[in-house]
Chains A and B, each alone.
Chain A
Amino acid sequence: MAEFETVHPLGDLDQLLADHAHHGEGAPGVQLSIRTQAACVQLFSRKGRHEDVAKALKLNASPGVASASKSHTALPLSPGQWMVTSNQSADRLAAKLQAKIKDMGYVSQQGDARVCFRIAGPSARDLMARGCRLDLDESRVGTGFCAQTNMAQVGVLLHQISDEPAYDLYVYAGFARSFFHWLSHTAAQFGYRIDKL
C-alpha cells in the first residue's frame, strides 16, 4: 500500500480553510474552528449502575453540565449515558474508560461519527441564536453547559467550553458539509475567521 491517510468528513481541510480564509471587514465577530483531534466515546452504565459509573469516573450524573478532568470531558446525554471527549486517541480513551468501569458499563467509539466545530468570538452567542432554540444567555448557562438539540435541521451535541463564550458543536459526520455550509453562510454577517485545531 502506498501512503495512508484518513480523510476528514469535510474533505481537504487546508483547501476548505483557504476557501473561507476571512469574511467581512475589520475584526471578525466569529472565530470558527474545526477540531480535528476530538475523540468521542459513548459511555453506558448498566442497569442500576448509573451512580457507580459516575463515581468511578468522577462524572456528573445529572443533566446539562459537563464534568471535566485533565484527560477528558464527559457530557451527560441521558440517564446512564455520557459522551466522553478527549484529545487523546479514541482507542486509548475507550480502553481506559472500560478498564475503569469494568463490568459496570460499556463504551462505544463515536469519534468518527462526529465532527466538532468550535464557535468563539464576540458574536458567538448571536450566531448560535440564528440556529439554536436554547436560551444560552449568560444569566442561564455558563461554562460546562451541554445539551443535545437541533440546529439548521441537524442534530448537535452542544458544549459551552468557556464564558467568553465559546461552544463546541458535535454534529454527525454525514451532515458535516451541510452544517458547515449553513454555519459559514450565517456567520458571514458577523465576519469570521476559520482555522483548525
Chain B
Amino acid sequence: MHQIDCPWCGTRDEAEFQYQGDATVQRPKPDADEETFFRYVYARENPKGWHVEWWHHVAGCRQWIKVVRNTLTHEIDSTGGPQSKLTKPDEKGGTKS
C-alpha cells in the first residue's frame, strides 16, 4: 500500500488515489500534426526505475498530483502539484538508483 504525500492533503493512502499514467508527456499545441498527437495519446515509455506519474487524488482534494516513483522498488522520491516541475533522482546526478 503506497503512502503518497499529497502536496495539499499530506500523506494519504493509495486507496484515495487513481493512477493516471505518465506525467512526462506534454499535450501538443492544437495545431500540431497528427503524428505528434498520436505520440501524445499512445506512445509511452515503460521505465524500470524512476518515473514521473499522475496520481489523481479523487477521494481527497481532487488534484492531479505528480509523483516521482520508482516502478521497481515503489519508493517515492517527491510529489508536487499539477504544474510542478519534478526531477527524477537519476537525473539530479544523485546517488539514488
Contact = CB atoms under 8 A, between A and B. Distances in A.
Do A and B contact each other directly (Cβ–Cβ < 8 Å)?
yes
Contacts of A63: 8-10, 61
A70 interface: no
Chain A: interface size category? 10 to 19
Contacts, number: 36
B63 interface: yes
Interface stretch (B11-19, B42-50, B68-76): B11-19
A79 B59 contact: no
Contacts of B59: 148-150, 155
A32 interface: no
Nearest to A151: B59
Interface in A140-197: 147-150, 155
B17 to A, nearest CB: 11
Interface residues of B, number: 13
B78 to A, nearest CB: 18
A59 to B, nearest CB: 15
Contact of A150 (B10, B16, B61): B16
Contacts of A79: 8, 61, 63, 81
A60 B62 CA distance: 19
Contact of B15 (A77, A78, A150): A150
A64 interface: yes
A47 interface: no
A172 B90 CA distance: 44
B81 to A, nearest CB: 8
Interface in B25-79: 59-63
A133 interface: yes
B30 to A, nearest CB: 21
A133 B15 contact: yes
Contact of A148 (B9, B15, B81): B9
A78 B13 contact: no
B13 A148 contact: no
A77 B62 CA distance: 9
A96 B10 CA distance: 32
B10 A78 contact: no
A147 B9 CA distance: 7
A105 B48 CA distance: 44
A24 to B, nearest CB: 30
A147 B10 CA distance: 10
A30 B37 CA distance: 56
A148 B10 contact: no
Given A79-B8, A79-B81, 11 more contacts: A63-B8, A64-B9, A78-B61, A78-B63, A79-B61, A133-B12, A147-B9, A147-B60, A148-B59, A149-B59, A150-B15
Interface of A: 63-64, 77-79, 133-134, 147-150, 155
